[in-house]
Structure 1
Amino acid sequence: MVFAPTGVDRSPWRLNEARRLVAAMRPAIIRGSIADLTALVNAHVPDYLAWPVPPDASASREVAIATASLAVRVAKSTGSLVVMTGETIAITNGQETWTRNISSGAVRDLIPDLDGAIDAVIGAIASSGVDLASAAVTGVEIFGAAVDAAQSKGPGQFWPTLLDTLAGTNSQTHSASDEEPTPNVHVLESVRIVLRADASLVAPDRLPDIVEQALAGGVTMVELRLDSLPVGRSVVVAREVRARCRLAGVPVVIRGRADIVLASASDGIVTSLEVDDLSPDDAARLVGPDRMIGVEVASVSDAELAKRAGAGYLIVGPMFATGSSGSADGPSGVSLLKRIRTVSPEPLVVGGGMTSARASQFLLAGADGIRVGSAIMHASDPKEATRIFASLWEETHQAP
């Protein structure tokens, strides 16, 4: 069943009834607008997603990511496959997400008069026995093709064009597994401000307290580097940091140590393509497919290799010298970041000598997040230092 809770954002009675029906019937697919579906689960809609969306917002990666993120929240709250319609159509089962951008003019044609058509198309395909995600992806593709074709024909041409499109569609559905999923929304949100908490930078006993202050300032992920500590001590520190991060809902990843990831029940691992490091493939085999895999890269070829090896996100750098490491200067680093962006859809994090004065150029150039070490770890007020980086991220990621 495809359930469409239309108008629930404007009617308390409709909203209560929709929630009751979802709880009672557990619909296989829920399709609705951003406003309707976020009202259904009482989620906040960012101002730049509120209707009407600015005409140029359909090209915005941030709008697509924000829409996908809201759709994931609805899917996890309801247990249904979700199709969220807007400038970006997001399809998600709560684990994987697919998106399709449609021109703003076309979307205004779709809403509200044509919503029933997309529900009918998706429902008809789902009833044929294909998996729900593939049914939704196929339905959206058929619907989008009809919209695109109808716009070139002029007013009043959508319905006959939709029928023509359906008539010309063969029995093959678009398998969701064959589509390129939108980058993992959870990872995209987590990599905004990554604290590289290196035990060699501070006394190990102080590290959990510094992490807690950074969490209060807005850190969205903690990467622990524990090379300087014995294994037993590393596990103790990792467990303490993990406990504090869990309270804040922030993931912890461990640099290079699959054993510590498992012993501390951390959320992922960071590795590289260097011969002395675990390969991304081996790291995934050791820690499991559900954990995050971050891979450090320093070139476009590295990024391509990491992508093929299953990297969940990429750390590009070092952009500036950190201790004895080599570096790319700022402008060269920006150029490298842009080149990697063209070949890799994975979330991109920049790191290496990152300060608040240097971070903006990379965020404006397309970085999804920044990895910060000494600028927070050695700060007199780690909370305030983190807050400055978090504010920079917000300022540079304002939707158009």
Structure 2
Amino acid sequence: MHPDFPYQLYLVISEESCVHFPMLQVAEMSIEGGVDIIQLREKNLDTSAFIKKAEALKKITDKYRIPLIINDNLDVAKAVDSFGIHVGNSDMPPTEIQQKWDRNKAIGYSIEYLEQLENEQTQVANHLGISPIYSTATKTDTVTEWGIEGIKKIRALTPKPLVAIGRMDAGNAAEVIKAGADCIAVVSAICTSEDPKKAAEKIKSQIHQNQHENL
């Protein structure tokens, strides 16, 4: 667990990613199963609709005292006073976000190639998304498939909290944490599950088991 980012299981959620239950229900079930931070990712909504969805989700995250991250929309993040925002290379850069928003807010930044570790955006970011560890159908605009060796390389080059995303599930969470990630970000393994609570519990168990083995 990273002292600056004490979250271990990170759910990335959207309405369309949720198969068996409505999004808000999946969010609540997943929190009960061990998710401790949630990112709302709605690429196809206009800002007004995105804000309404974020407000509804924030009622749940506030109820459980879980941080809410907004994907790539500073207007929405400001409107709902979210814990933070997550951006990639083609989004508003972290340096600009920092100028336009409360500096105490968390900024997540996706690392898609090693050279990014040396740029100003990475320095400004609070935590880094390693995207993707394994290629995934939910995110097709990525540059590098990092794999386990990629996590190890990045871990050796930065002390910042690392959030691993890309086909993460209970079967690979332990090895990803062992390789140097601080947090596992999940989409399909929870959102498409017939039992989101149990799916979250299984992944969290793997994270904890590996951490105890490394003590």
Is the counterpart of residue 267 in structure 1 residue 83 in structure 2? yes
Determine the C-alpha separation between the residues in 2 that align with 1:307 and 1:261.
Answer: 19
Structure 2 spans left out of the alignment, 5+ residues: none
RCO comparison, higher one (Cα < 8 Å, 6+): 2
Do the aligned partners of residues 303 and 201 (structure 1) sit closer, same or farther apart at CA in structure 2, a change above 3 Å counting?
Answer: same
CA RMSD of aligned residues (A): 2.0
Q: TM-score, normalised by structure 2?
A: 0.90
Q: Answer whether contact 1:320 1:328 (CA < 8 A) is retained.
A: no
Q: Answer whether contact 2:95 2:121 (CA < 8 A) is retained.
A: no
Q: 1:170-206 CA deviation, whole Å, 9 max, x = no partner?
A: xxxxxxxxxxxxxxx3x4212x100000233238x92
Q: Answer whether contact 1:295 1:306 (CA < 8 A) is retained.
A: no
How far off its partner does 1:240 sit? 1.2
Q: Answer whether contact 1:321 1:327 (CA < 8 A) is retained.
A: no
Partner residue, 1:369: 183
Determine the C-alpha separation between the residues in 1 that align with 2:120 and 2:165.
Answer: 17
Number of residues paired by the alignment? 211
Amino acid at match of 1:282: E
Partner residue, 1:166: none
How far off its partner does 1:325 sit? 4.4
Determine the C-alpha separation between the residues in 2 that align with 1:308 and 1:347.
Answer: 11
Larger Rg: 1
Determine the C-alpha separation between the residues in 2 that align with 1:293 and 1:335.
Answer: 25
Q: Answer whether contact 1:304 1:343 (CA < 8 A) is retained.
A: no
How far off its partner does 1:300 sit? 2.2
Determine the C-alpha separation between the residues in 2 that align with 1:319 and 1:224.
Answer: 20
1:319 to 118, 128, 133: 133
Overall identity of the aligned pairs, in %: 24
How far off its partner does 1:307 sit? 6.0
How far off its partner does 1:299 sit? 2.4
How far off its partner does 1:328 sit? 5.5
Determine the C-alpha separation between the residues in 1 that align with 2:151 and 2:28.
Answer: 30
Partner residue, 2:46: 230
Determine the C-alpha separation between the residues in 2 that align with 1:365 and 1:306.
Answer: 25
Q: Matched residue of 2:22: which SS?
A: helix
Q: Which residues of 2 match residues 170-209 of structure 1 at below 5 A?
A: 185=3, 187-190=4-7, 192-202=8-18, 206-209=22-25
Q: Which residues of 2 match residues 65-80 of structure 1 at below 5 A?
A: none
Structure 1 spans left out of the alignment, 5+ residues: 1-61, 66-184
Partner residue, 1:310: 124
Q: Matched residue of 2:135: which SS?
A: coil
Q: TM-score, normalised by structure 1?
A: 0.50
Determine the C-alpha separation between the residues in 2 that align with 1:308 and 1:341.
Answer: 14
Partner residue, 1:338: 152
Q: 1:281-324 CA deviation, whole Å, 9 max, x = no partner?
A: 11222232011100000222212326654110001021112113
Which structure has more helix as a fraction of its residues?
Answer: 1
Q: Answer whether contact 1:317 1:333 (CA < 8 A) is retained.
A: no
